[in-house]
Structure 1
Amino acid sequence: MAGFADLGLRDELLKALTGLGYEEPTPIQREAIPPMLAGRDLLGQAATGTGKTAAFALPLLQRMPPPGGDNPSALVLVPTRELAVQVSEAIHRYGRDLGTRVLPIYGGQPIGRQLRALEQGVDVVVATPGRALDHLGRGTLRLHDLRVVVLDEADEMLDMGFAEDIEAILQETPEDRQTVLFSATMPPRIDGLARSHLTDPVRIQIGREPTPAGEAPLVRQVAYVVTRAHKPAALGRVLDVEAPGAAIVFCRTRDEVDQLTETLNGRGYRAEALHGGMGQEQRDRVMARLRNGTADLLVATDVAARGLDVEHLTHVVNYDVPSAPESYVHRIGRVGRAGREGVAITLAEPREHRMLKTIERITKQRIVIEKVPTVADLRARRLELTRAALQESLLADKGLERFRVVVDTLAEEFDLVEIALAAVKLAHESGGVGDGDQEEIPEVTIRPPRERDGERPGRRVSVRDADGRGRGRDGGRRTPPGGMTRLFVGAGRSAGIRPQDLVGAITGESSLTGRDVGAIEITDRFSLVEIPEQSVDEVIDTLRRTTLKGRRPVVRRERSRP
């Protein structure tokens, strides 16, 4: 098996890798580094946690001119600020002995600091598309000296509505640049992006390392089917039994994140919330508490948690079944990284059972359906934790002797076994593992779903005539279903607006997923979108800060008609 030295990397990079404890390249690194060193464009499909950051960072650093230029030689585009920081730190560590200047630029950070760093000169810029485009508009980010452009987690960037931003940025780069695209999945949109901007690319597809026969997979994937009313109790029960070292619990909305965080803290967990409604400083404090062990549970939305890498993370929990298999892949990719074992848990409502089967089919990985732990299971697990704690104390044999006088005194009156039982009972209850949770969670029977005539899943999309009259049978607008509100967006068919543009703009920075967006109606001059009532203010704020086809449209609630 080839080592890093066999890949032709320079001594400074090899020294950095040795200092970081890297012993041999991962499959994606072995496949990607040689063609990148040769200057070839590359299209790589690699799951999260396979080592793709080093796969593009090492050849990128090797092919760069000596540091000291005024303009960057490399640009790495990533979907989130967390990933921007993570990639920037990695490139800085690899290129330390080369003197490479790396700068992450992303929203939520004071732009003045970024402006000063760009003015002083940087070699590698790691940016989110929105902030990169902002700097291009200001003239503070100049890309005419670029040699390499990397699109990392390209599928996530497209899902978040950054397609037009990416196109605009690439238009500002030299035609002879080297372009590298990495994506966990390869939907048709990624293939189209590659055909437009990559020249005769080397194609690489790397999955997770296969599990040898007879060995358990690194990520154990299980699901529990429960009704919505019992989900909080089921989550607590599962966490009590699993006893994770650190875990991320994924929710769909900000409100759900806040409510569940409060519920878990009420159960005695040290839980922290993370979602798009929080400022960057607040998000950084939350991540610091998780990494230093002050918190053991992170309850987060997908957008907030993309790009996170917590080394001691042991569990990922899907509080709801993700609306797309790609989201499931990205979520469980937070654990089982770099050879570490992990557990992926999904709480599915009965109606979501079919989606679990779809995820199994697409990912080609089995999700085991298990029964929610019973009260008896929970008591047995809690006793096991008490036994393990006592065993650890006995093996350590530190400070026990000073308690002998208590045992000797009690032994004059009671049997030693009775003394030991009383001590175990006190230890069990003082550890916060009492038997207060007595309610059984009812078992759910899965029935095959029946699809009635004319009922098929999917968003209702209507394109209307210029005078606003619909092409449906009734010619009028339908009333939004209960709990939904219709928003007016001042851009329509004449501006080139498509349903996917609206969904991408809404889900890119809000807590909603595509599944939460209701019917979309597009007329010649405006569009109407149905969204959950509780998310109206958040979505209006999101759309007012977003460009659609190069313009910021008017966004408001639809005015009621007499």
Structure 2
Amino acid sequence: MATFQDLDLSKQLHFAIEDLGFTTPTPIQQESFSVIRGGKDVVGIAQTGTGKTFAYMLPLLRDLKFSTQVNPRILVIVPTRELVIQVVEQIEAFAKYINVRIVGVYGGVNMNTQAQSLQQGADIVVATPGRLYDLVLSRALQLKAIKKLVIDEVDVMLDLGFRFQITNIFELLPDQRQNIMFSATMTDDVKILIDDFFVSPHTISIAVSGTPLDNISQSCYAVPNFYTKANLLTHLLKDAETFSKVLVFITNKRLADRLFESLKRDFGEEVAVIHSNKTQNYRIRSIENFNAGENRILVATDVMARGLDLNMITHVFNFNTPNYPENYMHRIGRAGRAEAKGNAILFYTEKEKEFKEAIENLMNYEIPSLEIPEEVVISTELAPEEQTHIRERNNPLKTEGLDAGFHEKKEKNKKTNQGGSYRREIVKKYKKPKTRGDKNYNLRNKKKRR
């Protein structure tokens, strides 16, 4: 088995790797090293948690020469603010014994402060697409010296609607550069981006999306509704010894807050929540407390937890079944980082059953089903999203079942604009409007003036 000693690394990088306690590169790290150093465009497809950040930064740092120039030479684009902070910290750890300037820029904080940091000079810039584009437009950041472009978690960025910013950033970059892209899935949108901007890329595919991770134990529960899911989750989490560090995935911000309030009644300060409506400081504090063990349970939306290095998670709960099977793989990969053992538990309702079956078809694996414990209360209360609603409230042709306040228009409100009354009388009398454009009218007036 290859070790980091087998790679052509500088002493400074070896020292940093030893400090981090790494001995053996992961498959994506091993395969990427020589290809990226060769200067070709690279597309890496690897499951989450396989060390992708180290895979692209190790060869880039190996060949990064000391420079005092102001404009950056390496640009790394990631989808979220939390990932910017994480990637900057990781690069700083890798480059501990190298003289390199690293700046992270992201939204939600003062842009002028970030502009001042960039003006002092940077070798590597890590950025979210939106803030990067704003800084370039304000001329606080120039991309003319970029030699290496890295786009990490590109499928998430396209899902978030950053296509416009990404394509415009590509147009602003020098033509002579190396493009490096890492993604957990190869979607049609990602393929289009590669076809448009990459030159004969070398593809490295380590784990095909949909392959169940061997070190993750999976199971599922058929649950009737939201509140029964909450009761079941609460019941399971009371076993703090087994469920010592838990990540709970949920669809959106509104449901995340509702579940957080429900869990907080039983677990108090043990539970935290993270989604995009929370302030930047709150989100950073939630991640730090969870990693430090101060919080045992973290409720998160998909986008917020994607790519984050959340340490030593024992269990991942899929509180809802994701619509896209690939998202299930991203979620459960949180529990199997760095080849650690983990557990993934899926809750699904009757409406979500087809999503579960799609996941199983993608993995070619049937998730073992468990019975709900007898102690769990089966709730009859339905969440607002589960209640029946009238879908055609504004359809004027379908009035039955609508509120009593609905009524037909009064006669006066059915009138249409016919023009002025004088104009209508002229039409009746002369069969057509009498205007200054009428030839006979003009002719009569001309005779009168004589």
Shared fold (TM-score greater than 0.5)? yes
Q: How many residues align?
A: 384
Following superposition, the deviation at residue 9 of structure 1 comes to 2.0
Write out per-residue CA displacement over residues 345-368 of structure 1, whole angstroms, 9 at most, x where no aligned residue. 111002211211101222344422
Q: What percent of counterpart residues are identical? A: 38
- Partner of 2:28, secondary structure, is helix
- The corresponding residue for 2:222 is 225
C-alpha distance 365-74 of structure 1, shift in aligned 2 (>3 A): farther
- The structure whose Rg is larger is 2
C-alpha distance 358-211 of structure 1, shift in aligned 2 (>3 A): closer
2:157–2:163 Cα contact (<8 Å) kept = yes
1:246–1:313 Cα contact (<8 Å) kept = yes
Following superposition, the deviation at residue 276 of structure 1 comes to 1.4
2:156–2:303 Cα contact (<8 Å) kept = no
- The corresponding residue for 1:540 is none
Write out per-residue CA displacement over residues 464-500 of structure 1, whole angstroms, 9 at most, x where no aligned residue. xxxxxxxxxx9x9999x99xxxxxxxxxxxxxxxxxx
Matched, 1:204 2:204: yes
Amino acid at match of 1:268: F
Matched, 1:77 2:74: no
Amino acid at match of 1:235: L
Matched, 1:2 2:2: yes
Unaligned runs of 5+ in 2: 380-390, 403-450
Q: Which has the higher contact order (CA 8 A, sep 6+)?
A: 2
2:228–2:377 Cα contact (<8 Å) kept = no
- The corresponding residue for 1:148 is 148
2:72–2:146 Cα contact (<8 Å) kept = yes
Alpha-carbon separation, structure 1, partners of 2:378 and 2:64 = 60
C-alpha distance 97-186 of structure 1, shift in aligned 2 (>3 A): same
- The corresponding residue for 2:233 is 235
- Partner of 1:294, secondary structure, is coil
**Structure 2 counterparts to residues 303-318 of structure 1, below 5 A:** 303-318=303-318
TM-score, length basis structure 2? 0.80
- The corresponding residue for 2:257 is 258
C-alpha distance 441-75 of structure 1, shift in aligned 2 (>3 A): same
Following superposition, the deviation at residue 308 of structure 1 comes to 2.1
- The corresponding residue for 2:339 is 339
Instruction: Return structure 1 stretches of 4+ with deviation > 6 angstroms.
Output: 208-212, 476-479
Alpha-carbon separation, structure 2, partners of 1:210 and 1:323 = 14
CA RMSD of aligned residues (A): 2.6
- Partner of 1:236, secondary structure, is helix
Amino acid at match of 1:232: A
- Partner of 1:345, secondary structure, is strand
- The corresponding residue for 1:174 is 174
2:253–2:275 Cα contact (<8 Å) kept = yes
**Structure 2 counterparts to residues 6-25 of structure 1, below 5 A:** 6-25=6-25
Alpha-carbon separation, structure 1, partners of 2:89 and 2:350 = 43
Amino acid at match of 2:182: F
C-alpha distance 236-6 of structure 1, shift in aligned 2 (>3 A): same
Alpha-carbon separation, structure 2, partners of 1:202 and 1:257 = 40
Following superposition, the deviation at residue 260 of structure 1 comes to 1.2
2:46–2:52 Cα contact (<8 Å) kept = yes
Alpha-carbon separation, structure 1, partners of 2:195 and 2:250 = 35
C-alpha distance 290-174 of structure 1, shift in aligned 2 (>3 A): same
- Partner of 2:76, secondary structure, is strand
- The corresponding residue for 1:353 is 353
C-alpha distance 291-478 of structure 1, shift in aligned 2 (>3 A): farther
Following superposition, the deviation at residue 78 of structure 1 comes to 0.5
Amino acid at match of 1:113: T
Alpha-carbon separation, structure 1, partners of 2:295 and 2:20 = 27
Unaligned runs of 5+ in 1: 376-438, 443-459, 461-473, 483-562
C-alpha distance 440-281 of structure 1, shift in aligned 2 (>3 A): closer
TM-score, length basis structure 1? 0.65
